[in-house]
Amino acid sequence: MAGALLCSGDCRIRNVPLLADVERMGQVLSALGVRLTREGDILDVNASELITSKAPYELVTQLRASFFAIGPILARLGIAQMPLPGGCAIGARPVDLHVRGLQAMGAEVQIEHGICNAYVPGANGRLKGAKIYLDTPSVGATETLMMAATLADGETIIENAAREPEVVDLANFCNSMGAKIYGAGTSTITITGVSQLHSTDYSIIPDRIETGTFLVAAAITRSEITLSPVASDHLIPVIAKLRDIGVPIIEEGTDCLRILPAESLKATDIDTLPHPGFPTDMQAPFMSLLALAEGDSIINESVFENRLRHASELNRLGADIRVKGNTAFVRGVSVLSGAPVIGTDLRASAALVIAGLAAEGKTTIQGLRHLDRGYDRLDMKLQQLGARILRVNEASADAELPNNNSNPPASVSL
C-alpha cells in the first residue's frame, strides 16, 4: 500500500487480508489524499492526487508500517513529514537506518517533537542514487529505501539488505509498475531510478506467518489439515523445526502443505534470526507447542529485545517456562489447563490461542486488538476446522462455546 504511493495512476492489489493494520494504513493514505476502494480481497489505490506530505500523527503512532510511506512520499513530492511510528511494544526498532539511508540519497532530515521532517534540496526535488550499507538487515529500512530509490536520479545499491520474502514481493510489485530493482532476496539490492511508474494489477504472496500459525495449531492439537495456497519455500526453517519436533509435514506440489498428527512432540532449540533463519514472528507460537513437548527446549530471541512476555501468560495455563534476558527455557509438561490470559502483542495473542486449543477447560483471551492487526478472522477459520472458539464481549466471557463436532479439539473463548 505504501508502494502504491510511487504511482500517480491506478494500482490494483489482490489477495489483501481483512486486518486492522490494513484498515489503519488505508486511513493514513486517505489522509494524504489517496483514493481507495475495496471489494473483497481486492484493493484499488489511486495516488494521483497525493497533495499533502504530512501524515496524521494520531494514525501513524498506532501503526509502525505507516512510517514506510516516508520513502515514497519523499520520492514523489520532494518533501515528507512523518510522525515517529507506533505498533506492538516488542522492542525499540528505531528509524535511524531509514533516516541515514534517505540522507545518503541527498535528503535533509530532522526529527523534532516526534516528527520526522525530510526534504530534498535543489530545483527538481529529486533524490539521488547512493551506496547504502545497513548496520542490520532491517526489513522496514530495506523497504523504505528501496521504494525511495525507484524514483531517484541514478543508481542506488543497498548492502546488507533484508532478504525476507516480503522484500522480494515489494520489489516485484514495484517492478510491475516499471521500477528497475535487481537482487531482491539477496543481501545486495540494486535500484536504477526511473522518472515515473505506471499502473499495475498485482497479487501479493500468501502470508507465511499465518501459514506457520495454522501448522503449529494443527501440531499442538494432533490434527491433520491441508493448507493451500501457501509458499512453502518461504517456510523452510518453520517446516524443518516442526519435523525436528516430530510433526510429519507433506509438501503436495509447490503451494500445498499437509500436516499429520505427531506420535509424540520432542523438545528442540530455536534461535530467531533474520531470513532465511527462523522467523521471530513464529517464536511465540512455537513456545506454546514446545510447552507440551517431551524434554527441555531453549528459545533464544535475538531479533527483538522485548518479545518474551507471553511466557508468563503461558505459565498461567500450566506451562513451565523460565525467562532470563532474551532466552526462554521451556520444560515440557503433559497438559495445559484453561485460564484467563492477556495477549501482550500480535504474535503473543496467536500463541495463547494455540495454547488454548490444546488446554483442558476453557481459556479466555483478552487483547484481541493485537490479534486482529495480523490475522484475518482467525477465530472463524479455526471454527471451520472444528475448534470450539467464540469471540465475545468482555462482559460475556462466560458465554457457552459452540459444539462444532463430537470430539472438539479446542475449548477457547475469545
Q: Retrieve residue 125's grid coordinates.
A: 526535488
3-state secondary structure of 286: helix
Q: Which fold has domain 3-203?
A: UDP-n-acetylglucosamine1-carboxyvinyl-transferase; Chain (3.65.10)
Q: Under CATH, which number does the domain 208-413 receive?
A: 3.65.10.10
- Beta strand 340-342 with 363-366 is parallel
Predicted confidence (pLDDT) per residue in 29-74, tens digit: 999 999 999 999 999 999 999 888 888 888 887 787 888 899 999 9
* pTM summary value: 0.92
The arithmetic mean of pLDDT across residues 302-315, rounded, is 89
412 has a pLDDT exceeding 50: no
Torsion of CA 237, 141, 82, 151, to 10 degrees: -120
Q: What is the CA radius of gyration of the chain?
A: 22
pLDDT computed for residue 369 by the predictor: 86
**DSSP conformation class of 115:** E
The arithmetic mean of pLDDT across residues 92-105, rounded, is 85
Residue 88 among the catalytic residues: yes
Cα separation, 157 vs 192, in Å, equals: 9
Domain boundaries, the chain: 3-203, 208-413
Please list, in sequence order, all residues whose beta carbon lies within 8 angstroms of the beta carbon of residue 36, skipping any fewer than 6 positions away. 26, 29, 30, 43, 44, 45, 46
| DSSP labels, 342-399 | E--SHHHHHHHHHHHHHSBS-EEEE-HHHHHHH-SSHHHHHHHTT--EE---GGGTTP
Peptide bond into 408 cis (omega under 30): no
Is it true that 3-203 and 208-413 share their CATH fold? Answer: yes
Cα separation, 265 vs 271, in Å, equals: 19
92 has a pLDDT exceeding 50: no
pLDDT computed for residue 88 by the predictor: 47
Active-site annotation holder among 7, 11, 88, 174: 88
Phi-psi region of 219 (alpha: psi -120 to 50; beta: other; left: phi over 0): alpha
pLDDT computed for residue 122 by the predictor: 86
- Count how many residues are written for the chain: 414
Please list, in sequence order, all residues whose beta carbon lies within 8 angstroms of the beta carbon of residue 238, skipping any fewer than 6 positions away. 208, 212, 215, 278, 279, 282
Cα separation, 348 vs 34, in Å, equals: 33
